[in-house]
Amino acid sequence: MESEAKLHEIKKPIMVLGTSSGAGKSLTVTAICRILKNLGEEPIPFKGQNMSNNAWVDYEGGEMAYSQALQAFACGINPSAEMNPILLKPQGNSISEVIHLGKSIGITTAKNYYQDLFIPGWEVIKKSLKSIYKKQPNCRLIIEGAGSPVEMNLIHRDLTNLRVAKYLNANCILVTDIERGGVFAQIIGTLELMKPEEKKLIKGIIINRFRGDLSLFEEGKKWIENKTKIPVIGIIPWLNDSFPPEDSLDLIEKKSRFSNPEIKVGIIKLPSISNFSDFDPLENEESILIEWIRESQNLRKYDFIILPGSKQTIKDQIFLENSGLSQDIREYSNSNGNIVGICGGLQMLGTTLEDPYSKEGPKIYSEQKTKGIGLLPLKTTFLEKKLTRQINSESLWPCQTKINGFEIHNGQTKLDKTQSSLKIKPIFKDLDLGWYKENNGGGTIAGIYIHGIFENDSWRNRYINLIRKSKNLPLLNKKSISYKKKRECIINNLANEFDKHLNLKSLLS
């Protein structure tokens, strides 16, 4: 936007704010994006600043939050880092990696971030908005806020809520989660803390996750509208969605939707878990039950276990060792168990981890080698420059098929020449993307650098069939519905449910 006047020439953006974190902003934006696409509009998702370790890599190699990528899919367009110009990837102790327009600009503390990167951050947000409108002048931005817009200790340096709303003069929706309780206080308290010119931007209220008979809230709806003079434009029922959560803490609450699973999968709940959307395709397999493993235990009840990605691989490997889970995983492998490590999980399955440039945090990591679990003869060195790219390759195991996905990692992994590597084999034609080893008595250990590997239907089905064959279960039908079609179906169902209970008409003018 080169001038304020031009803001009035664009289609009115819609912004979704929340009374709190977890109120349902991400899914609301996803639903609205698909609803507007179905109406023939050109919606584009936008979130000025997101804090998440659940990332996606766009087709230019830029990092962005997975939630904005999912919203782009709902719009029927390719994700772009411009849709999420600032991504903060937390590393604990109030330290985060800062991504601007898809590229890492370094690590900072929360205090230094607000002091040093607030103004540059706002410039990055404006630059992204200008670029989006230049490329698609007829688009309608569907903007997601972050947390609450009225955190009074942070409001003067909040980049992604009311500052964006005022800059674009957006029509704003306030979403609140009735499941949490205190819905009236959430709404009134949030509005009372806004300045008059900010409150004027709120054009509608959504009550989210309502259980039971919607007619029972009619009196509540009237009270809210009389008190606030803002219409309640939607009361959304509780939906059994199967999207990945924004926050890794929410993973603990995620329950399987299928009551008669044939295969049980255990995923290690690492303290610094990242890219947990990798497992969404498994969540949608009716034959699979997923359980999250947080403490030492006998793992033999699982048909396969997964070591997921990590934002701090060395720290998480030390956690595995100290908690006893490393030994549990070794014993599981010795019992012919099946293991898949993805990205950081791959690195942990190796023999050693080295951090000469202190990319993993404390300097002590760079002064000594950290032992891995030791199930694959691989050593990893964390380099200064991060590798982020889309992948188009071909797998060699468990079947030959085309593979798509993406990479995000600092670590470079090579065969450990001090170990016997006779049994280890490449998984892909691109030899540095993954390796596997078959145990003598059965079971396999696989380490893979590709995020989104389970989205590849042929690969996923063949791997699951290896497990099913070992259990003497009938093999999966090759004509089973693809995950991407399932994702489209989920987005459509989400949009249809919202459309039944949501009146957007007044916000489109």
Query: Tokens in use for 75?
Result: 């719009």
Q: List 305's β-bridge partners, or say none.
A: 266, 339
Is 180 in a helix, a strand, or coil? helix
From 343, 399, 409, 501, the catalytic residue: 343
Non-local (6+) Cβ contacts of 355 within 8 A are: 314, 365, 366, 370, 381, 382
Q: Which amino acid is at 233?
A: I
Yes or no: say if 273 and 57 are a contact pair by the CB < 8 Å rule.
Answer: no
d(CA 395, CA 398): 8
d(CA 318, CA 152): 38
Query: Environment class of residue 352 by beta-carbon count within 10 Å: exposed (0-12), middle (13-18) or buried (19+)?
Result: middle
Which of 438, 463, 435, 434 is closest to 451 using CA atoms?
434
Query: Tokens in use for 143?
Result: 């903007």
d(CA 268, CA 342): 11
343 belongs to the catalytic site: yes
How would DSSP label each residue in 36-68? Answer: HHHTT--EEEE-SEEE-S-EEE-TTS-EEEHHH
* End-to-end CA separation in angstroms for the chain: 20
Residue with tokens 């440039």: 357
From 100, 139, 172, 451, the catalytic residue: 451
d(CA 313, CA 345): 8
Q: List 291's β-bridge partners, or say none.
A: 266
Beta carbons within 10 angstroms of residue 484's beta carbon: 14
How would DSSP label each residue in 149-168? Answer: TT-TTTGGG-SSSHHHHHHH
d(CA 450, CA 346): 10
Which residues participate in catalysis according to the annotation?
Answer: 343, 451
